Amino acid sequence: MTKFNYDVLFIGSGHAAWHAALTLRQAGKSVAIVEEDLIAGTCTNYGCNAKILLDGPADIAHQAAAYRESGILTGELKINWEKLMAYKHQNIDPMHVGLAKAFENSGITLIDGHGQLQDAHTVKVDSDTYTADNIVLATGQRPAKLDIPGKAYLHDSRDFLSLPHLPNHITFIGAGIISLEFADLARQAGAAVTVIEFADQAIRSFYAKYSAKIVTQLKEQGVDFHFKEAVSAVAKQDQRFQVSTQSGLTVTTDYVIDATGRIPNTEQLGLDQAGVQTNRRGIIVDDHLRTTQPNIFASGDVIDKTIPKLTPTATFESNYIASQLIGLSQAPIQYPAIPSVVFTLPRIAQTGMSIAAAQKDTAHYQIQTIPYGQQMRFETKNESHAEMTIVTDQKHRLVGATIYGNAAQDLINTLTLIIDQQLTADQLDQMIFAFPGASAAILDLLRVAMRQG
């Protein structure tokens, strides 16, 4: 019988890895995690956590504005960026240390360095080698970078989330989720903002109507948008920068963020040596998250998948792999309804079937728009523009929803549960929800719409 150093070895330590690692260790498996950056990965250290922390004051200021127009609230709320950034470092910076201690206390071995496969069971980390019965690749993604003259002047999302001082003017290349979230935050904090996008619309993975509403609102608040423009170069001009496009557009700015997408971390992992196949979207896996080498699994943003690459889906996959390796289940992975959110102000959230997909099959699905902000102003804190668009099937069940509103990130979770459990309006009638509040009011409107659908 072959003796390995570990039962399971993870390359990467983010949510795609550590949930499984803890479960496996609790089940008595010997586990190691190889990490070349901070323990706990992008979301914890450089992504979601930092983003939502920085968003907090901007969210409060945005919601307060709904009462300022009527004179109910007076005075202006201003964000002190330097103090906000200090608050971020105070809360975010220690997190990886605490998690590392928790992992070590559970008996997980942490190996610092770059992991590279030597074969199907061997990982080299610097000058040391380790063997494992099973290996899990959880290396995530990184920001893409435009290959243009002046690319050295481009910054990415990680840079923005640690900006010590807010520049007077920021230019974002790209109009996707990250770009618009940060553009909105920068504007709320007092920066002038320009967004340059190659396509003809923003946030193309979400309902076009609500994406357009966000753009319109940002324009009204002073954000300058340029669509159908391909950035061709960035040049230094004294202490500022000039961004040029192929059409001849030039924008003078103080800071340039390349937000043109993210790419999987598949290079320099020794995948070819281990027989693991990839494509441009990531590592190829089967319906058990096994790579083309059966004892090597992959999890999280690094894999090629059609579902959203999100922290919750990475966590779901991590837990699934753990259940496979400890023998709790051998069934193929089945994803539930997956909510996703754009953290602009207001938010956009969607779950289940997209509106675009339903529009292509109106024989089987009905689309309804519910302007809940107008119908329940006091529950939504005077947010009159808040709106929800839902998709119901021929059995009057909710199968998809998109929400445009300040509380969308919370409301969408309730709708996700309804979709996933295939609850009917009659079943919702048998439930009691806390009142008054936005979720209870939304469900009242939803029950009516489901019966009409």
Is 147 assigned to a binding site?
Answer: no
Is 175 assigned to a binding site?
Answer: yes
Is 442 assigned to a binding site?
Answer: no
Q: How many residues does the chain have?
A: 453
State the maximum Cα–Cα separation within the chain, in Å, rounded to a whole number: 77
Compute the distance between CA of residue 248 and CA of residue 232 in angstroms, rounded to an integer: 9
Is 181 assigned to a binding site?
Answer: yes
Is 39 assigned to a binding site?
Answer: no
Burial status of residue 75 (CB atoms within 10 A of its CB: 0-12, 13-18, 19 or more): exposed
CB atoms within 10 A of CB 276: 22
| DSSP per position, 43-64 | HHHHSHHHHHHHHHHHHHHHHH
Q: Which 3 state secondary structure label does DSSP give 6?
A: strand
Is 301 assigned to a binding site?
Answer: yes
Compute the distance between CA of residue 17 and CA of residue 300 in angstroms, rounded to an integer: 8
Among 331, 299, 304, 333, smallest CA distance to 10 is for: 299
Under a CB-based contact definition with an 8 Å cutoff, are residues 439 and 411 in contact?
A: yes
Compute the distance between CA of residue 323 and CA of residue 240 in angstroms, rounded to an integer: 53
Compute the distance between CA of residue 107 and CA of residue 89 in angstroms, rounded to an integer: 28
Is 333 assigned to a binding site?
Answer: no
Is 24 assigned to a binding site?
Answer: no
Is 115 assigned to a binding site?
Answer: yes
CB atoms within 10 A of CB 406: 22
Burial status of residue 400 (CB atoms within 10 A of its CB: 0-12, 13-18, 19 or more): buried
Phi, psi of 224 (to 5 degrees): -100, 120
Is 261 assigned to a binding site?
Answer: yes
Q: Return the beta strands (E) in 246-371 as ranges.
A: 250-253, 255-258, 262-264, 278-279, 282-283, 296-298, 340-342, 347-352, 366-370
Under a CB-based contact definition with an 8 Å cutoff, are residues 103 and 117 in contact?
A: no
Under a CB-based contact definition with an 8 Å cutoff, are residues 254 and 169 in contact?
A: yes
Binding-site residues for FAD: 115, 301
Binding-site residues: 115, 174-181, 197, 261, 301
Binding-site residues for NAD(+): 174-181, 197, 261
